[in-house]
Amino acid sequence: MPLTAFLLHWITELPNYQCDIDEDLILQNAQLMKSLNLADAGYTYVNIDDCYSERSRNDDGDIVEDATKFPSGMKALTDKIHDLGLCYSDSGWFTCQLYPGSFQNEARDAKRFHDWGFDYLKYDNCAVPFDNITRENIMGRYERMANAIGDFSLSSGTPPLILSMCQWGREQGWTWARRYGQSWRTTDDIEPYWQSIVKILNQNSFYTWATDFYGHNDMDIAEYNCHLTIDSGNGPLTYEEAKSHFTAWALLKSPLLIGTHLASATKETLEILTNPEIIAIHQDSVVGTSISPFRWGINPDWVSNDTHPAQYWSGESQNGTMFMLLNTLDEPADMFFKLAESPWIRAGRQYTVRDLWTHTDNGTAVRNFTAHAVPPHGVVALLLQDAGDEPDGLWPPCAVLEWCMHSNGTRIDE
């Protein structure tokens, strides 16, 4: 199931809420998404992460919404909010908070979620049954729910649930999970600290190839906060760190789930979350692939470093070539690169430079670019567009000197 523009959400997965949720809270935040212009920016889904049901199924075997938390019922709630997508279950006996999971009830629950008006299912990996019961690994347990979703869609003639697999990077989901759903967790849970963000970015730098229109590496968590832990009410991220966090998650095409407490969100937080030029790259309807590193920077290329992940990234977009420069140092730094280090840049051409955070056009780059005084843990996001042939007479005649040769056989690199 291709998703030409992947999902943007608000989610209850917050230390602010934990299991303390109800329909009034959900409706309040849905209204905030409208009034704070988040819906206009593209955030159109609301997710409830666990704790929405009774502790036991009913006599018919169905999951039942908590009558105290959701007295109007789930269907009534979804009817109140246009395009509301909220759903959570687990591939085990129970959810992570020990509410009913879906193991051995996959078909029943897929129908139940549809009847409630849900369209997105986050499927967790807690409360795993014994091996002599499942005779399956993680992949097999997710296959059960994927088959149930597909079978119900075919029999009912309705669109299938979007399946988000929360297996925390176990069993290398990026190699198989697209068979069953649209996103898969790639790491353990994030925490609202810079060290956690760069650790997750480092891990994902080695499998950016797995993301495209048909499936997405999901860089988020299921414990503290979700992808966008931005304001001081959620965690000690600086403004520059928050920009870096949002930029990396968006340009790597991870699902963007807001984990910010909306009622107390700062102006700066909302400006980050709604940056239209960054979101436009994330929601590109022509190019679905992620940016990837072309140079690691501080540490050698292709070497894992949880403190200093890759610093120089690029990728395609329908409007030009994307660059992300990440300063992982604790002090300001100039960041220099040769344009032709990126595979998406044509040698012998010059490029206009658009800064996606200052929203300014910054002249034309010929062969090289330097971002000056990038703040500690800060980011630069650039869109480069072809502006024609580079000026004549530049020396050396090749931007990349390796085996650069004149037509008479003279090597320039020697």
The residues assigned a catalytic role are 124, 189
198 phi and psi, to 5 degrees?
A: -70, -30
Task: Please answer whether residues 170 and 142 qualify as being in contact, where contact means their C-beta atoms are separated by less than 8 angstroms.
Answer: no
Instruction: Identify the DSSP state of 123.
Output: E
Three-class DSSP category at 374: strand
Q: Of 371, 341, 340, 335, give the one whose Cα is nearest residue 353.
A: 371
Q: In Å, what is the CA distance from 227 to each residue of 69, 99, 411?
A: 26, 24, 50
Give buried/exposed letters for 231-254 (b at 16+ CB in 10 A, else e). Answer: bebbbebebbbbbbbbbbbbbbbb
CB-based contact 158:110 (threshold 8 Å): no
Q: Are 132 and 97 in contact (CB under 8 A)?
A: no
Q: How many alpha carbons lie under 13 Å from residue 385 in its C-beta half-sphere?
A: 9
